[in-house]
């Protein structure tokens, strides 16, 4: 049951090209946004598409795969865990962000 405690699975499209950073420690990290879409009909019967944007971060070998094979607009599936953190901007303002730390990725064929 512990494997279900904090697990996120999404299928969606990359909103931007993965941003790759090689850290001084030798570790690699990749950040990107991912859009997921849900559709429903409103009270008038019109189809509405609701798009949610997710911040994704991947480390190590997962980051290597994403850097090599994934591009903007591509549909992928990811699995990971939800994390929240804070940071200070250059102006000294504290910001909060929620991210999904990706540990698995499945790439669908490009059309």
What pTM was estimated for this model as a whole?
0.85
Domain range list for the chain: 2-107
Over residues 17-65, the pLDDT tens digits come to: 999 999 999 999 999 999 999 999 999 999 999 999 999 999 999 999 9
Phi, psi of 60 (to 5 degrees): 60, -130
Q: Cα separation of 20 and 22, whole Å?
A: 7
Q: What is the pLDDT of residues 20-32, one digit of tens each?
A: 999 999 999 999 9
* Closest residue by Cα to residue 79 from 22, 19, 3, 27: 3
Q: How far apart are CA 108 and CA 53, in angstroms?
A: 19
The Cβ of residue 12 has, within 10 Å, a number of other Cβ atoms equal to 20
- Distances in Å between the Cα of 3 and the Cα atoms of 8, 35, 63, 80, 110 are 11, 25, 22, 11, 31
Domain 2-107 - what CATH class? Answer: mainly beta
């Amino acid at each position: 049951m512990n494997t279900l405690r904090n697990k996120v699975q999404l299928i969606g499209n990359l909103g931007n090209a993965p941003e790759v950073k090689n850290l001084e420690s030798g570790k690699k990290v990749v950040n990107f946004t991912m859009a997921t879409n849900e559709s429903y009909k409103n009270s008038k019967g019109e189809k509405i598409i609701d798009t949610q944007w997710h911040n994704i971060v991947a480390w190590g070998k997962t980051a290597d795969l994403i850097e090599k094979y994934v591009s903007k607009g591509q549909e992928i599936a990811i699995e990971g865990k939800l994390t929240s953190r804070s940071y200070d901007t250059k102006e000294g303002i504290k910001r909060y962000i929620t991210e999904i730390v990706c540990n698995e990725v499945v790439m669908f064929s490009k059309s």
